[in-house]
Structure formats: C-alpha cells, structure tokens
Chains A and B, each alone.
Chain A
Amino acid sequence: MTTQPDLQASRVAKHYGAFRAVDDLSFSVARGSFFSILGPSGCGKTTLLRMIAGFIEPDAGDIHIGGKPMNGVPPNQRPVNMVFQHLALFPMMNVGDNVGYGLARRGVARDEIKRRVGDMLERVSLPGAQDKRVDQLSGGQKQRVAIARSLVLEPTLLLLDEPLGALDLKLREHMKIELKQLQAAFGTTFVYITHDQSEALVLSDHVAVMNAGKFEQVGTPQALYYEPQTPFVAGFVGANNRIAGRATEVNSGVVTVTSAQGLVMPARAMGSVSRDDAVEAFVRPEVARLARDAAALRDAGLPAFAAQVTSLLFDGANSAVLLHEAQSHTEFRVALPQTGEFADLRVGETVAFGFDPQRAVCFAAGDTAHAA
C-alpha cells in the first residue's frame, strides 16, 4: 500500500516582476515526515511556505494537500497550520484561549474545547497553564503553546517558519531536540523552513536545499552531507574548503584538480567531469586529517600536503586550524582532533594534512545543472 503524500507541489511558480521567487518547483512530502527547506535568505523559501499556507497564490502550478487541490482555497479553510517566526501568540488572550482559538472558530462546544485544550497542553508538557498570560511564559514554553495552538486542530500539515530564529543559542539547541520529539510524538507532517543548516540536518527526515527559487537537491541529511549533487549544496551544507581549478586528469571517477596557484589534489567526480574542464573541488574540514609527519598519512594511503599553521580557531569540539599549503599557499581549514595530540600546536608550525580522495568532491565549474 502506498500512502499518498501529504503535500504535493507540481510546477509551482511565483514571480515578482522579473524576479523568480519560486521557479517551477515540484516536490512531495511523505505523510508523517519532517521535511525541511534549507536555503539562504532571499532564496524563496518563505514565499514557498506562504503559498502552501495560502497567504500567497502561486502564479502557476498546483499545490495538493492531503490529496486535495488547494488552488483558490483561503488559509482559514486549508488543513494546514503555521507556526510563525515570532510565534504570533495572541497577547490579548491567555494560554487556554490561544490554544482554543481555532476550535472556537470551528464552532466546537465550550466544554469540548476546554477538554481538548487541557489534553493538548498536557501533551506539550504544560499542564494547567490555561490561565497564564502569554508574557508569563518562557521562550520555550511560548513555542510549545504556538505548536499546541496549531496541532489541536489536527492539521494535515504543520508549517514552521524559522521558529527558532529569535531564540538564543542555548535555548535553540534545547528547542531543536524538543521539536523533534514533538514531531515524533504527534506524527504530524512538519514542513520547516530555515537558513540554519544545523537545524535542518538535526531535525529532518528529508531536506531540500533551495537556492534562487529552485531546489538544488532533495535528500536525507546524510545524502546532502556526504553526496552533495551541486557545488551550491557542497558549499552551503556543512563547512567546506573550496578549490577552483582545472581537471588535469580524470581516472575512474577520481579527478586530479590543479588550481591556478599550483595546488594539485585528487577528488571524486560528481556528475560528469572531463579532462581540461574548469572544476570546483570541496574538502570538508572534518574529512581532512592532520599529522605532524607526512609519512603517517602516506602509510594510510592518503595524499599528503605540507602546510604552515596560520591560525588556531579554538571552539571546543568544533576547533579547527587554518593552514597555508606550502607550495600554493592555498588556505585550508582542517578540523582539530580532540585527542590531545595537537593540543600544543602553535601558529607558524609546519604540519602535514591529507584526505581520502573519495571523500572530497569535484564538480564541473559553473555546473548549475540540477542533477537531483
């Protein structure tokens, strides 16, 4: 039995003058999944979300929600609810009235509303909060009320418009986990938009990376991270060292990239790359290995580069070093292992680094083809 997707968009487009905010997009979101749309600001993700919610009508294409066409259906009649960026809780109402608002608008009986609001607040771990004022809640509690207010209506789809954007870092980390748990507990299909790749990767079953009105790639977080299909995805998801150059050799899927500065490095070809193509290669800082002695890398079968440490970027578990490759002076960012081996690393020191060519990726430059 194939379950019908909860959200299906076919060839949806929205233009503002000559600007294509959303450009001929087609995708579907499976029932019960957590789907994120990740992209830089101005990529069209908010426009797309507002079209799904019904605040904006698409210029072309169809949106189906729960199998029903949504063209011309206003937001108050769609089986979709939205959690707004700043949550948009009603300050003139208490928590109970906020959560019960949608039910009251549907004409549900007062006793029934009271019961369902109580149940819902219990499910989001805010039992008995009905009489609290909105401004008495903490940031995390407000978010739970905003989600409860939407989920009490049992929507087919819950849209979330960067609800974590306004929170401070610590709370954001906490709310990320809480959101994922809430989604798992309710089983409602979530469509989440964000510009924060960590939110998208941690939360989602599937992520669509959006750029200039189009999806560059749709896939699991792992696929986006390990198998980026376009240079944009490779550059946007996770940190990456980007090296532009020319393919001087192509050998069974491994390209030898030679940069204008004279760096020669191997990388796995993504899509078709032929000899003499202009290419872009990406090496993740956490893929590269650091060694004091180049022999250790060669013994492991990795290409080794000599480099000088130019700065140490200490950030706890995310610490990294900036290196200048000895011959070409290409700058590389390499993750600092937390084993203590490099605890005494100093700026100016000469070290070696290398990486598995299979885990570095290479694209034909200017390749904006949407391989996905």
Chain B
Amino acid sequence: MKTQARLMLMLLLTPALLWLLGLIVLPHVELGILSLRARVAPRVYEPSLAQFATFIDEPLYWHTFMRTALMSILATAITLLMAFPIAWTIAKLVRGQAKAMLFVMCLIPFWVSETVRTLGWMILLRESGVLPAFLVWLGVTPAPVEMLYHDATILVGLVYTSMLFMVIPLISALESLDDSLIEAAYDLGGNGWSILRQIVIPHAAPGIVAGCIVVFMLTLGNYLTPTLLGGKNSQWFTEQIYTQFITRFNWEQGAAFGFLLLGLSTAIVWAGLKLSGQKFGEVMQKT
C-alpha cells in the first residue's frame, strides 16, 4: 500500500521533473559551460572568464545592466501602488457580481497577446497616434508630440503588462484579512493611515512580496515591451542578450549575460526578502 502510494507520487511528479530537467537544468548547464569558455580559433575553445571581463570593461553593458535593474524596481513599485487600491476594492469593498466583474476586467487584457497589447499602446502614443492628436485638439500642444521611445513609455507598458500578477496575490492576501481586525483597530482609536500601516500591510506582507517578486522577474526578463515602446533607446539588458545570441552570434557572451541577469534578479529578490523580513517559502505559498 505504502509502496503503491509512493509509486503514484513518483508517476505524478515525473512530468514536472522532466520539464524542470529538460527545459531549465540542462540548458543552464550548457549555458554555464558556454559562458566560461573563449573561442581561440575556429572550433577551438578553452576555459576562460573573458566574457565576464568584457562585461566589466565595457561601460555600455554595465550601464544597461544597472538601468534595467532600476527601471524594473521602479516598475514594480508603481505596479504595487496602482494594484493595491484595485485589490482592496475587489477584496473588501464590493460583493457578488460586481466583484466578479471587476476581476474579469483585470483579466480581459490578457486575452490578447502581449505583442498586440503593446502595439495597442503604440497606436495610442505614436506621433500620428490617438493621444497626441487628442492633445492638439484640446489645445494642450500646438503640434503632435512623439510619446513613444521615452523611459516613461516603457514604464507604462511594463506596469500595464504586470498589473494582473500583482492584483491576484494582493486580493488573496487582503481577502484573508478579517474585517473585524480593521474595525477593532478603528474602535481602539486607529485612523485610516495607521490601520493601513500597522494592520493591513503587515497582514498582506507575504502577498505584497509575492506579487513584487513575480512582477519584478517578469519585468526584468521582459524583451518585447521595452523593445517596442522604448525603441533604440530602451537599453534593456535582455536586448543585449538577444543581440549577442542572434545578431553577433556570440553565444559565449550571451550566455555570460544570461547568468549575470540571473544573478542580478536573485540578488535583488534576496535583498527584497531581507528588507521586508519575509521568508521565501511563506511568500510562495501566498501566490
């Protein structure tokens, strides 16, 4: 009986383990080997840290790396600030059908592919697009302004793409908050701000951190949105990786960049968990 149960468990786990091994572990081992060798002659390689040295020596790479990290943190923060009131409304203020409606409204944009969604923003924001024309019509600007290819445009796109992944863990975290705790705090003399700070945020912290981790990782690894909305100036690190692999055909350099990005996201997530005093396991249970 016990061996049967164990066999069942193994069978059920097999697809997930195969998927992990085949798509995550093996490619990363391969990329790891790639990143640590240098081509000395056609088809002749030797172990080397040259790729990483290039990264350190070339200011453009450094700059792009840090910029990607900071912009991703900023996008995550903005997403959190915008998603919180939405999640609060869905979790606490509305009931029944209105609740389902609001939730579906958050979901609807994801029925369209990311490319189409981003192109939608381009239609709205390009110089000959809807919004610049509207501003001219209002008399705010004398001529249409180009609203694409700014950092702000990239942030708008990233926040828009990430919203749902922040709203969902926040809703589940806020729904589990007993309303009587809020009432009790109010009854004991708390006001809106102090209740948010001392009761709501501590309770929702695992959900907040979970949402932030997911959004941050999605943003840091996003390729399409920064490229389309930021254009040539976007300087997103994933573009550097793409360039190395596809344009330059320098797989060794691309692999090294890939590992650097992995290290960066790990480091920032770790720092975030330390700063918020949360444990990874608890946080992941909330997602």
A residues contacting B by CB (< 8 A) are 53-55, 74-77, 80-82, 84-86, 88, 90-93, 101-102, 105-106, 149-150, 153
B181–A90 contact, CB under 8 A? yes
B184–A76 contact, CB under 8 A? no
Q: Which residue of chain A has the shortest Cβ distance to B205 in the bound complex? A: A92
Interface size class of B (residues with CB under 8 A): 10 to 19
Determine the distance from Cα of A77 to Cα of B188 in the docked complex, in whole angstroms: 9
With known contacts A90-B199, A92-B199, A92-B202, A101–B180 Cβ distance under 8 A: no
Taking the nearest CB of chain A, how far is it from the CB of B196, in angstroms? Answer: 13
Q: Does B151 contact A (CB under 8 A)?
A: no
Q: Does B178 contact A (CB under 8 A)?
A: yes
Taking the nearest CB of chain B, how far is it from the CB of A56, in angstroms? Answer: 11
B189–A153 contact, CB under 8 A? yes
A88–B190 contact, CB under 8 A? no
B residues contacting A by CB (< 8 A) are 178, 180-181, 183-191, 194, 198-199, 202-203
B190–A101 contact, CB under 8 A? yes
Contact of A76 among B181, B189, B203 (CB under 8 A): B189
B188–A153 contact, CB under 8 A? yes
Q: A74-B186, A76-B187, A86-B180 given; name 8 further pairs at CB < 8 Å.
A: A75-B187, A76-B191, A81-B188, A84-B180, A90-B185, A93-B198, A105-B189, A105-B191
Determine the distance from Cα of A106 to Cα of B188 in the docked complex, in whole angstroms: 9
With known contacts A84-B180, A85-B180, A90-B181, A101–B187 Cβ distance under 8 A: no
B189–A102 contact, CB under 8 A? yes
A82–B189 contact, CB under 8 A? no
B185–A82 contact, CB under 8 A? no
Determine the chain B residues whose CB is within 8 A of the CB of A153 once the complex forms: 188-189
Determine the distance from Cα of A27 to Cα of B186 in the docked complex, in whole angstroms: 26
Determine the chain A residues whose CB is within 8 A of the CB of B190 once the complex forms: 76, 101, 105
Looking at chain B's contact residues, the main secondary structure is helix
Determine the distance from Cα of A86 to Cα of B188 in the docked complex, in whole angstroms: 16
Taking the nearest CB of chain B, how far is it from the CB of A162, in angstroms? Answer: 12
B189–A88 contact, CB under 8 A? no
With known contacts A92-B199, A92-B202, A105-B194, A55–B183 Cβ distance under 8 A: yes
27 A-B contacts, Cβ less than 8 Å apart? Answer: A53-B187, A54-B187, A75-B187, A76-B186, A76-B187, A76-B188, A76-B189, A76-B190, A77-B189, A81-B188, A82-B183, A82-B187, A84-B183, A88-B178, A88-B181, A88-B183, A88-B184, A90-B181, A90-B184, A90-B185, A90-B198, A92-B198, A101-B185, A101-B188, A101-B189, A101-B190, A105-B190
For B181, B189, B199, B202, the residue with the greatest tally of chain A CB atoms inside 10 Å of its CB is B189
Q: Which residue of chain B has the shortest Cβ distance to A92 in the bound complex? A: B202
With known contacts A86-B178, A88-B178, A106–B183 Cβ distance under 8 A: no
Taking the nearest CB of chain A, how far is it from the CB of B216, in angstroms? Answer: 24
Determine the chain A residues whose CB is within 8 A of the CB of B191 once the complex forms: 76, 105
Determine the chain A residues whose CB is within 8 A of the CB of B189 once the complex forms: 76-77, 101-102, 105-106, 153
A88–B186 contact, CB under 8 A? no
Determine the chain A residues whose CB is within 8 A of the CB of B186 once the complex forms: 74-76
Taking the nearest CB of chain A, how far is it from the CB of B279, in angstroms? Answer: 15
Determine the chain B residues whose CB is within 8 A of the CB of A106 once the complex forms: 189
A149–B199 contact, CB under 8 A? no
Determine the distance from Cα of A102 to Cα of B185 in the docked complex, in whole angstroms: 8
Pairs A-B, 6 closest by C-beta atoms: A105-B189, A102-B188, A88-B184, A92-B202, A88-B180, A84-B180
Taking the nearest CB of chain B, how far is it from the CB of A166, in angstroms? Answer: 12
Determine the chain B residues whose CB is within 8 A of the CB of A77 once the complex forms: 189
Determine the chain B residues whose CB is within 8 A of the CB of A91 once the complex forms: 203
Q: Which residue of chain B has the shortest Cβ distance to A149 in the bound complex? A: B188
Q: Which residue of chain A has the shortest Cβ distance to B181 in the bound complex? A: A88
Determine the distance from Cα of A123 to Cα of B191 in the docked complex, in whole angstroms: 28
Determine the chain B residues whose CB is within 8 A of the CB of A76 once the complex forms: 186-191
